[in-house]
């Protein structure tokens, strides 16, 4: 039987989580439904909820309960102890930040989103620059309050918000290792002279409603529960929500149907993870995702490893033709598979191929690190961004919307999030290697349109644990070895080596 004080403590945190879930749905509504003139009121609403949640977590009652449970933590089960450790960490960090800053942060990021949307539409970074400068200043102020002795602002933000225990140095090492192996692979692909045709995707009109029906049909088979989720349209695809109410979004282009398709699959991957977390632990660490990178490992796993794979499309070829019919006139399976896996440097991160994707992340990570170290001013971001795109991808950015305004993250002050995408790729590669090793017939099942064992493996080895294990511990528990980029690099090398003959 759990300690009475532990039970009371968890109940209080679940109440606070309910406030956060309300904020999350209001944030979803802002990006999906909110009329332009409603943003000021929405900022007030979210500011109030942020203040109430902060009052809750920093209340004297919570502090008293933390002390009492801490004194008897030897009586807790291993799961209860893990819950308590993370709740105590949340409480300690929250008490370092004044309510006024929490409220200001909420208000400014709410307003910033609409400013970013408008600036992106106008292709004008200058219209967003002063807002970004304000968010960086607020983030640095927050970082000063939560940083451990000797910890940089950027490291504090990474550790506090996204990846417990990760640092800029950690990311430079692991991303640098991926870059070292993948850049030569991309060069071999380019030197191969093979050019895959995508004109049937870009020069033909694909009905938007048909795109939606295909995407929802596929993710239903993957395991997304529509009684606990929904799909809508947003400027930038995202997933939000919890428990039995997961919201995913995508965006549609009539001349690029794979954009919406893989966007739906990616966000559904996030949603499937959330739907697999223990319901009875809602609002507690054991009912919460481990980290941003583990979350991204789930979305990138479904989007790329499963749904860009040869076995997947062999199994889906008839369905694809049933939906798109004449749009695929003159297109056979090999042409389609090559088109959706074409390696070609591009401007837009969310539409990038698997081989060049991590270069998009590397350039954003390096820019963020420079911003927080004082090496890069906000006004110089477009120039610095464009130079890195030229250096890493060999492209000339034509406007800010295909350059430094393309991502929503900075308008939400998610500084330190971007490297989670690449770390998620790495984790996904390692999970896939272990899954295949445990069941080599899994590819035959995927080709047959049967994803039950894929989902069951993820449920057993990742989803059900919540934060029972931290990131590296979870990967080791699931795969039997330390987190490493080796399996991810092997996956890319094998897949694209076969596709391009290199």
Q: Given 115, 146, 177, which residue is the final one in a domain?
A: 146
Same domain, 136 and 224: no
Q: What pLDDT is recorded for position 219?
A: 98
**Has residue 185 been placed in a domain?**
yes
Same domain, 132 and 189: no
**Has residue 133 been placed in a domain?**
yes
Same domain, 287 and 342: yes
Q: What pLDDT is recorded for position 58?
A: 98
Same domain, 331 and 221: yes
Q: What percent of the chain has pLDDT over 90?
A: 99
Same domain, 111 and 181: no
CA distances from 390 to 71, 175, 256, 386, 395 (A): 57, 19, 24, 6, 5
Average pLDDT of span 411-416:
97
Q: What pLDDT is recorded for position 271?
A: 98
- The DSSP output letter for 207 is -
Tokens 């000021």 appear where? 40
Q: Tell me how far apart the alpha carbons of residues 337 and 358 are, in angstroms, rounded to a whole number.
A: 21
Q: What pLDDT is recorded for position 365?
A: 97
Which sign does the torsion angle of CA 279, 96, 407, 196 carry?
Answer: negative
> Whole-model pTM?
0.96
| Domain total in the chain | 2
pLDDT digits (tens, 9 = 90+) for 342-379: 999 999 999 999 999 999 999 999 999 999 999 999 99
3-state class (DSSP) for residue 399: coil
Same domain, 132 and 206: no
Q: What pLDDT is recorded for position 492?
A: 97
pLDDT digits (tens, 9 = 90+) for 184-233: 999 999 999 999 999 999 999 999 999 999 999 999 999 999 999 999 99
Q: Tell me how far apart the alpha carbons of residues 241 and 256 are, in angstroms, rounded to a whole number.
A: 28
**Has residue 252 been placed in a domain?**
yes
**Has residue 152 been placed in a domain?**
no
Residue in 267, 274, 296, 366 annotated catalytic: 267
Which domain covers residue 136, as residue numbers? 4-146
Closest CA to 111 of 31, 35, 43, 17: 43
Mean residue pLDDT of the chain comes to 97
Query: Using 50, 70 and 90 to split pLDDT, how confident is the model at 243?
Result: confident
Q: What percent of the chain has pLDDT over 70?
A: 100
**Has residue 233 been placed in a domain?**
yes
Same domain, 24 and 84: yes
**Has residue 153 been placed in a domain?**
no
Q: Is pLDDT at 258 greater than 90 in this prediction?
A: yes
Same domain, 133 and 189: no
Helices 333-340 and 310-324, axial angle in degrees (round to 10): 110
Q: Tell me how far apart the alpha carbons of residues 383 and 373 are, in angstroms, rounded to a whole number.
A: 18
Same domain, 340 and 425: yes
Q: Is pLDDT at 177 greater than 80 in this prediction?
A: yes
Q: What pLDDT is recorded for position 221?
A: 98
Q: What pLDDT is recorded for position 1?
A: 57
Q: Please say if 267 is a catalytic residue.
A: yes
- The DSSP output letter for 74 is G
**Has residue 311 been placed in a domain?**
yes
**Has residue 370 been placed in a domain?**
yes
Q: Is pLDDT at 11 greater than 70 in this prediction?
A: yes
Which helix or strand (DSSP H or E) is residue 406 part of?
none
Average pLDDT of span 103-118:
97
Same domain, 142 and 172: no
Same domain, 245 and 387: yes
**How does strand 239-242 pair with strand 229-233?**
unpaired
CATH number at residue 485: 1.10.1370.30
pLDDT digits (tens, 9 = 90+) for 423-464: 999 999 999 999 999 999 999 999 999 999 999 999 999 999
Q: Tell me how far apart the alpha carbons of residues 221 and 277 are, in angstroms, rounded to a whole number.
A: 19
User: What b/e string do you get for 396-433 counting C-beta neighbours within 10 Å, with b at 16 or more?
Assistant: ebeebbbbbbbbbbbbbbbbbbbbbbbbbbbbbbbbbb
Q: What pLDDT is recorded for position 2?
A: 73
Query: Using 50, 70 and 90 to split pLDDT, how confident is the model at 81?
Result: very high
Q: Tell me how far apart the alpha carbons of residues 200 and 198 are, in angstroms, rounded to a whole number.
A: 5
Query: Using 50, 70 and 90 to split pLDDT, how confident is the model at 46?
Result: very high
């Amino acid at each position: 039987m759990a300690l009475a004080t532990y039970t009371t403590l968890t109940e209080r945190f679940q109440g606070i989580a309910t406030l956060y879930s309300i904020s999350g749905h209001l944030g979803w509504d802002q990006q999906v439904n909110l009329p332009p003139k409603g943003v000021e009121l929405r900022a007030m609403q979210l500011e109030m909820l942020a203040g109430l949640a902060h009052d809750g977590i920093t209340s004297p009652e919570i502090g008293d309960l933390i002390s009492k449970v801490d004194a008897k933590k030897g009586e807790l089960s291993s799961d209860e102890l893990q819950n308590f450790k993370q709740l105590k960490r949340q409480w300690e960090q929250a008490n370092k930040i004044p309510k006024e800053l929490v409220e200001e942060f909420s208000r400014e990021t709410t307003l910033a989103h609409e400013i970013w949307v408008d600036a992106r539409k106008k292709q004008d970074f200058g219209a967003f620059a002063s807002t970004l400068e304000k968010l960086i200043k607020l983030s640095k102020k927050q970082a000063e309050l939560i940083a451990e002795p000797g910890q940089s602002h950027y490291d504090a933000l990474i550790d506090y918000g996204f990846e417990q225990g990760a640092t800029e140095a950690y990311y430079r090492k692991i991303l640098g290792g991926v870059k070292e192996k993948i850049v030569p692979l991309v060069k071999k692909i380019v030197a191969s002279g093979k050019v895959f045709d995508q004109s049937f995707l870009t020069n033909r009109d694909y009905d938007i409603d048909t795109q939606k029906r295909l995407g929802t049909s596929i993710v239903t088979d993957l395991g997304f529960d529509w009684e606990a989720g929904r799909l809508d349209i947003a400027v930038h695809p995202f997933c939000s929500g919890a428990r039995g109410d997961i919201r995913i979004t995508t965006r549609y282009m009539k001349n690029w149907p794979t954009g919406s398709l893989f966007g739906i699959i990616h966000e559904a991957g996030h949603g499937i993870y959330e739907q697999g977390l223990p319901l009875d632990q809602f609002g507690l660490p054991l009912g919460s995702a481990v980290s941003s990178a583990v979350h991204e490992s789930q979305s990138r796993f479904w989007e790329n490893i499963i749904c860009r794979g040869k076995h997947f499309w062999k199994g889906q070829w008839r369905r694809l033709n049933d939906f798109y019919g004449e749009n695929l006139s003159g297109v056979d399976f090999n042409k389609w598979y090559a088109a959706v896996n074409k390696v070609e440097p591009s401007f837009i991160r969310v539409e990038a191929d698997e081989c060049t994707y991590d270069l998009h992340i590397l350039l954003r990570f390096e820019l963020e690190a420079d911003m927080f170290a004082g090496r890069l001013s906000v006004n110089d971001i477009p120039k610095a961004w464009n130079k890195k795109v030229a250096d890493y991808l060999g492209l000339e950015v034509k406007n800010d919307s295909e350059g430094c305004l393309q991502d929503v993250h900075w308008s939400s002050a998610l500084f330190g999030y971007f490297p989670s995408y690449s770390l998620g790729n790495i984790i996904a590669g390692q999970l896939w290697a272990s899954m295949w090793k445990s069941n080599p017939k899994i590819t035959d099942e995927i080709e047959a349109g049967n994803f039950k064992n894929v989902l069951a493996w993820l449920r057993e080895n990742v989803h059900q644990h919540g934060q029972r294990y931290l990131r590296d511990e979870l990967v080791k528990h699931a795969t039997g070895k330390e987190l490493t980029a080796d399996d991810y690099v092997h996956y890319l090398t094998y897949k694209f080596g076969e596709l391009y003959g290199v």
